[in-house]
Amino acid sequence: MFWCIDYLNVHTCGKDSYNIHLSFNYIKKMKAIILNNSGSVDNFNYVHVSKPSIKENEVLVKVTSVSVNPVDYKARENEGTLNWLFGEQRPVILGWDLSGIIQEVGKNVSDFKIDDAVFGMANFPGNGSAYAEYVAVPSSHLTLKPANISHQEAAAATLAVLTAWQALVTNGNIKKDNKVLIHGASGGVGHYAIQIAKHFGAYVIGTSSEKIKNLCCKMVPTNILITQK
Ligand SMILES: NC(=O)c1ccc[n+]([C@@H]2O[C@H](COP(=O)([O-])OP(=O)(O)OC[C@H]3O[C@@H](n4cnc5c(N)ncnc54)[C@H](OP(=O)(O)O)[C@@H]3O)[C@@H](O)[C@H]2O)c1
């Protein structure tokens, strides 16, 4: 008989094995990437921290994927942005855009259940904490992940697409046959903006550098693409 020890369980293993699950304090720990001070990526530390507990309106998500937007690196390298998002709290856990599986459901949450696959933007702008194994998220910040979309794709379809949506639909009130100019059309926000504008029947003009014009010519085509070196 062999004893196997990992950080959650101690159990026997082998052909005729059985598991003994012990409720160590370890079970309340999780892995996370913390940031003590703004600066280079060397300031990130991969450590064990306490697993978050949820409020009545929150769910606990086991994080499968996160995406990194400009706000992530701006917060990481700039003390002013970090203060705007987290106040004086240090260390912090960055990360807002996520996709994962629900592990626990708060008392007042009726729209999700355990094991639902969900994605969304956690507590933005504020304490997101998605660079971690588990994150507590208000249920209103999440939605069900379509089965035909991977966790990676879902995590990448949150802040950038909402930014494009707010610009074109919420603020721009886009209509069929509008002419829309999208600068940085090949970028994270831009390539969503092209698709949203096309969806509403607009005529789309994009700008892009020569080197990545294929994205706007083939994968997400504009009506007219202006390229620069
Ligand atoms: N991603 C988000 O969720 C989000 C949310 C809110 C606000 N924003 C802001 O929206 C902007 C775009 O964000 P993003 O995520 O789309 O960034 P991104 O993926 O880096 O795309 C930016 C695009 O802008 C183009 N570009 C860069 N320098 C340029 C210049 N000097 N002249 C013309 N085009 C230039 C680049 O395209 P080419 O290489 O083809 O020129 C690049 O693909 C940023 O200012 C960001 O802070 C982003």
Q: What is the pTM of this model?
A: 0.83
pLDDT confidence bin for 200, thresholds 50/70/90: very high
Q: How far apart are CA 148 and CA 103, in angstroms?
A: 21
For atom 25 of ligand 1, the residue with the nearest CA is: 184
Can you spell out the DSSP letters for the chain? -EEEE-SS-EEEESTT--------GGGGEEEEEEESSSSSGGGEEEEEEEPPPP-TTEEEEEEEEEE--HHHHHHHH-HHHHHHHHTT--SB----EEEEEEEEE-TT--S--TT-EEEEE-SSSS----SBSEEEEEGGGEEEPPTTS-HHHHHTSSHHHHHHHIIIIIIT---TT-EEEETTTTSHHHHHHHHHHHHTT-EEEEEEEGGGHHIIIIIS--SEEEEE-
Q: Which amino acid is at 184?
A: G
Q: What is the mean pLDDT of residues 210-226?
A: 76
Over the chain, what is the mean pLDDT? 88
Confidence check: pLDDT of 192 > 90: yes
Confidence check: pLDDT of 122 > 50: yes
Residue 26: the pLDDT is: 54
Place of tokens 């008989």: 1
Q: What is the mean pLDDT of residues 116-131?
A: 96
Q: Which amino acid is at 27?
A: I
**Which is the closest atom of ligand 1 to the Cα of 209?**
40
| Residue 187, ligand 1, Cβ within 6 A | yes
The predicted-structure confidence for 20-71, as pLDDT tens digits, reads as follows: 444 445 568 999 999 999 999 999 999 999 999 999 999 999 999 999 999 9
Q: Which amino acid is at 189?
A: V
Q: What string of H, E and C letters represents the secondary structure of 107-165?
A: CCCCCCCCCCEEEEECCCCCCCCCCECEEEEEHHHEEECCCCCCHHHHHCCCHHHHHHH
For atom 6 of ligand 1, the residue with the nearest CA is: 163
The fraction of the chain above a pLDDT of 90, given in percent, is 76
Confidence check: pLDDT of 210 > 70: yes
Cβ partners under 8 Å of residue 200, min gap 6:
168, 169, 174, 175, 176, 178
| Residue 190, ligand 1, Cβ within 6 A | yes
For atom 21 of ligand 1, the residue with the nearest CA is: 187
Domain architecture of the chain: domains with CATH: 28-154 (3.90.180.10), 159-228 (3.40.50.720)
Residue 218: the pLDDT is: 73
Residue 141: the pLDDT is: 98
| Residue 47, ligand 1, Cβ within 6 A | no
Q: How far apart are CA 47 and CA 161, in angstroms?
A: 31
pLDDT confidence bin for 217, thresholds 50/70/90: low
